[in-house]
Amino acid sequence: MNTDLQLVEQARKGNLSSFKILVEQNKRLVYNLAFDLTKSREDAEDVSQDVFVKAFRSLDKFRGDSKFSTWLYRITVNTCLSMKRKKSYSTMQTEEDMNEVIAANEKLSVKFQQVNPERVTESNFIKKNIDKAMQKLSERERTVFVMRNFNELPFEEIVQALKLKAGTVRSLNFRAIKKLQKELSFYNQEPQAEGANE
């Protein structure tokens, strides 16, 4: 059984089939993170390709002091950030990408709709509001939040990937949760609102 480091060393010497193993093992992890950060399937696929090209050209920089996937997360985050900067992402986020999110959600909810039709629109509405609330976070808050809560990476791995201090990662994540709570406070009041009608 080859370890990541062994595969990296073989790839460094030009062994593409070793690198292919690393790619196949990690491409979904990279894609998932890239999708959560860009909210666009197309961008996530482009980023995934870029990440592995960059990783391949920078294999010398991987020293094995973290997992290979952790190293890829760093490249993924940075590639997404620079892609956003290049596209001035924030201005186009609202329309083009939101539509894609909605389209994706609709596609996914077709099955669900057959079972539970009246809840589908409500669920789409919630998702849209969550996406909107996520946009209120700073880049760093969103990145840490996504890594911890969507990709379920332990805090230590985020610390390694982003080369931030442990306390910083934790407080960025907590700050993100607090901001999101404020943005989405509507949902916390729902039970009371129902009661008030009686």
- Which residues make up the interface to another protein (CB under 8 A)? 16, 19-20, 23-24, 27-28, 31-32, 35-36, 41, 44-45, 48-49, 52-58, 61, 63, 75, 78-79, 81-82, 85, 104-105, 108, 123, 126-127, 130, 139-140, 149-150, 162-164, 168, 170-171, 173-174, 177-178, 180-181, 184-185, 187-188
Joined tokens for residue 126: 């919630």
What minimum distance in Å lies between the beta carbon of 143 and another protein? 8
Which of residues 63 and 114 has its CB atom nearest to another protein in the complex? 63
Minimum separation from the CB atom of position 105 to another protein (A): 7
Which uninterrupted H or E stretch holds 117?
helix 117-135
CB 165, min distance to another protein, A: 8
Q: Tokens 């999110």 map to which residue?
A: 101
- In angstroms, the CA 81 to CA 77 distance is 6
- Specify whether the CB–CB gap between 141 and 37 falls below 8 A: no
Closer CB to another protein, 129 or 197, in the complex = 129
Task: Indicate the DSSP class of residue 60.
Answer: G
Burial 98-108 (b: 16+ CB within 10 A, else e): bebbeeeeeee
CB atoms under 10 Å from CB of 112, counted, come to 12
SS3 content of the chain, % helix, strand, coil (to 5): 85, 0, 15
- Least distance CB 192 / another protein (angstroms): 12
d(CA 127, CA 108): 13
Which is nearer to another protein, 7 or 44 (by Cβ)?
A: 44
- Whole-number minimum distance, CB 179 to another protein, in Å? 10
For another protein, the closer of residues 10 and 168 by Cβ is 168
Coil, strand or helix at 21 = helix
The backbone torsions φ and ψ at residue 154, rounded to the nearest 5 degrees and listed phi first, read -65, 155
User: How far apart are CB 197 and another protein at their closest, in Å?
Assistant: 21
